Chain A
Amino acid sequence: MPDAALAHSLEPRIAPAEGSAGADTGSVLPVSAAGLVFTVNGKRLVDIDRLTLRAGGPTIIMGPNGAGKSLLLRLLHGLIEASEGTVLFNTQPMNARVRRRQAMVFQRPVVLRRSVQANIDYALAAAQGYRGPSRRGRLRELLEMGGLADMARQRARTLSGGEQQRLALVRAVAASPDLLFLDEPTSSLDPASTHRIEALIHRFADEGTKIVMVTHDLGQARRLAGEVVFMHRGKVTEQTPANVFFDAPSSPAARDFITGGLLV
């Protein structure tokens, strides 16, 4: 198969969706959730009256297991549907344009059964904004950014865990999203890999991408957080600047969490 035809066959075919017409301009921030409820078998796993995420430093979502942190990320990113409530992105509901302006990286990186560069190229094709030389240029830039240039043609599945997560990260920012959700991206990585991932997160944040990240790692939260959202039993009990949260958390649950007290 000729290269051009093959490359075409590997691209996602996406029909322009409603609301996708026109220039892809305007930030999707702030993100505003109101009356957001997610119920399973009558149990409210997420129950948030109001939450606003504004442009600025990374927002770190913390809380014990089962607090609803990952569910909140999925609700905000539109991967699951809320039982009640709304999520607005700069006053707009989720639509094709809003979807393209945000991305998510999961705890276990999902890499396609293709090469490293084909994984990134797939995301660029899905983003629909890159063609020809600009796409190739952006591809090279992302490979360099992730420290993956030497492995560009390697099968993505043969990379180490840390390398796969770096690939997932640079693939997520391929289309320069306004908003990047990260669900415990370093939970299974060693300190060196974690350090490289954190450096990338710092870089994305410095370049203006709003980071919304779930982590259990207090040290990581201190290193990255601009603000902290603390969750307990599905509710947001605290949303404060990071220094305030770590110095003087206002809720007993957050105090227990920081001091290592038992919290269920």
Chain B
Amino acid sequence: MQDFASSFFLAVSLILSGDPELWSIVLLSLKVSLTAVAIAAMIGMPIGAALGVGRFAGRRALIVLINALMGLPPVVVGLMVYLLLSNSGPLGVLQLLYTPTAMIIAQVILVTPIVAALTRQVVEDLDAEYAEQLRSMGVSRLASVPTLLWDGRTSLMTAVLAGFGRATAEVGAVIIVGGNINHVTRVMTTAIALETSKGNLALALALGAILMLIAISVNAAVGLLGVRSERVAHA
């Protein structure tokens, strides 16, 4: 108990003192995860919207596949990306293994199905409600997509948030393709795993606290953004 208490107080002092090692890990984590989520949103939202409003052969099978990919095991993704990027792999020439870019690629693969599947659900539900009305107004299926995305924006923000949660909390994939190299590819989750195994509970606890704080802050920010965007839309 005393170990925990002393580690906890040490963790607080690390956070408050602006420990450069701790904050470099935090900043790299944010950079990797935010980039991955932005790319995943750019890929996943159009896929989700197309599955939500499109009617084409194989659509059902694609929906089942996307839903299944939401539960992709991170270590499997890490392994696949490792094989692709390793020197003997098809993309080995790019020399991306053990770089933040490799970690971003792995997280994009993990997050895209989440964004796509949740976007599909949001767009499809809203389309079921709006379809006849929009058609009556002369709005084509394709032209209805921006309307559905805009009117479903609060739910879509939640989809992106779910993706961000997956990215920041994930450890299996980034440790395989990033290698947990100090000052290069060490992010919060991999650092927590390493420091815990080394018995450096203070740094692990400090990073854990920051990770939770980030999750809470992003949730709060999305909530506020949702309220504000609703106000703007109704002005």
| Chain A residues engaging chain B, CB cutoff 8 angstroms | 1, 6, 9-10, 12-15, 17, 74, 77, 79, 96, 99-100, 103-104, 106, 110, 112-115, 118, 122-123, 126-127, 153-155, 172
Docked pose: A122 CA to B136 CA in angstroms: 13
Q: Mark B110-152, 1 if CB is under 8 A from A, else 0.
A: 0000000000000000000110111111111001101100111
B37-57 interface bits toward A, Cβ cutoff 8 Å, 1 = contact, 0 = none: 000000000000000000000
Nearest Cβ on chain A to B142's Cβ, whole angstroms: 8
Chain B interface (Cβ < 8 Å from any Cβ of A): 129-130, 132-140, 143-144, 146-147, 150-152, 230, 232-235
Query: Quick check: A153 and B234 within 8 Å, CB to CB?
Result: yes
Q: Are A114 and B138 in contact (CB under 8 A)?
A: no
Pick from A1, A14, A113, A127: contact of B151, CB below 8 A: A113
- Complex Cα gap A103–B139 (Å): 12
Q: Are A12 and B233 CB-contacts (below 8 A) given A99-B138, A106-B133, A110-B130? A: no
Q: Are B136 and A79 touching (Cβ within 8 A)? A: yes
Interface of B is mostly: helix
> B151 contacts A110, CB within 8 Å?
no
Q: Residue of A at shortest CB range from B126?
A: A113
The chain B residue sitting closest to A9, CB to CB, is: B150
Asked if B133 and A6 make an inter-chain contact with CB atoms under 8 angstroms apart, the answer reads no
Question: Do A14 and B138 touch across chains, with their CB atoms under 8 A apart?
Answer: yes
Interface pair A12/B151, CB less than 8 Å apart? no
Cβ B146 vs Cβ A79 within 8 A: no
Tell me which residues across on chain B come within 8 A of A103, comparing CB atoms. Answer: 136-137
Are B136's CB and A12's CB within 8 A?
Answer: no
What's the Cα separation between A138 and B145 when bound, in Å? 26
Collect the chain A residues with CB atoms within 8 Å of residue B232's CB. 1, 6
When the two chains form their complex, are residues B136 and A100 in contact, meaning their CB atoms are under 8 A apart? no
The reply to whether A126 and B129 form a contact with Cβ atoms under 8 Å apart is: no
Q: Which residues of the partner chain A approach B234 to less than 8 Å between Cβ atoms? A: 114-115, 118, 153-155
Chain A residues near B143 (CB, 8 Å)?
A: 12-15
Residues of A within 8 A of B151 (CB): 112-114
Complex-state Cα separation, A228 to B143, whole angstroms: 37
- Whole-angstrom distance between the Cβ of A241 and the nearest chain B Cβ: 29
